[in-house]
Amino acid sequence: MLRKKILFILLLLQCSLLGLNAKSKDTKIYYLVLGDSYARGVFKPSDKVVRSYSYADALYERLTVTNPNLVLKKFARGGHTTTTLINDQLKKVTDFMKLNSGLTKLVTITIGKNDFSSCHKGNAFECENRLLKIMYNLNNTIIPTLKEAGGEGVQYWATTYHNINLNDNALYDSLIKVYNENGVKVVDMRNIITSETACGYTYLCNYKNHHPNVNGSHAIANVLYGNLSVPL
């Protein structure tokens, strides 16, 4: 009789563990994307079907192989600056993170270029002021707010931009510095999209558009993926 009771209890425990396993595999986890059009993605001008595609999409495709329950949420918007990110994206993202506590596993951000737009054509004082504002917004608001809402177990990554036909190295170097100081890892796009790869990795040569194309998006995603802790 005692043996039957023990076997019955063991059977119940086994069923319970199987149920928990199934539930954990079915539970959605999230990859959140913040920033501007480099994070949101653009579409090939000749495409009839409009679908924005960025490194986030390419990375998501790779991650779902080992994380089939991963969901991509793009909060990034074209034309946004660090200020408009704070005013429009940040609350939406942090509210989502709090509502889905513990389920956000990856956050990527690409921001700052629109703040600095055409600055290299202006005076040094204006450029310095813009740079200080970008760093202040990231250091004092964007990054700490994200980390507070995300809690433990979130991987934070950022990218810079490429520098083809531009001279924004001061911005990109400053971005890397502020991200590193705040525990956000960075992929420097300047090392991926160069004068040698620009035509193959962006829409620049065919459409005079600086954004990464599908090939460029995959190249950026591959670097990100190679440095992430996977599965998430």
Residue 20 forms part of a structural domain? no
Considering its fold, how many domains does the chain have in total? 1
Residue 53 forms part of a structural domain? yes
Q: Which domain, by its residues, includes 45?
A: 28-227
Split at pLDDT 50, 70, 90, the class of 113 is: very high
pLDDT tens digits, one per residue of 173-210? 999 999 999 999 999 999 999 999 999 999 999 999 99
Residue 196 forms part of a structural domain? yes
CATH number at residue 180: 3.40.50.1110
Q: Chain centroid to CA 199: how far?
A: 24
Residue 11 forms part of a structural domain? no
Contacts of 145 (CB under 8 A, 6+ apart): 90, 94
Residue 125 forms part of a structural domain? yes
* pLDDT score recorded for residue 47: 72
Q: Is it the case that residue 19 has pLDDT exceeding 90?
A: no
Q: Is it the case that residue 52 has pLDDT exceeding 70?
A: yes
Q: How far is CA 36 from CA 61, 80, 205, in A?
A: 20, 5, 22
Residue 7 forms part of a structural domain? no
In a 10 Å sphere around its CB, with 0-12 CB exposed, 13-18 middle and 19+ buried, how is residue 223 labelled?
middle
Count CB neighbours of 56 within 10 A. Answer: 30
Q: Which has the minimum average pLDDT: 122-126, 142-146, 200-204? A: 122-126
Residue 9 forms part of a structural domain? no
* pLDDT score recorded for residue 18: 44
Residue 85 forms part of a structural domain? yes
pTM given for the model: 0.87
* pLDDT score recorded for residue 124: 82
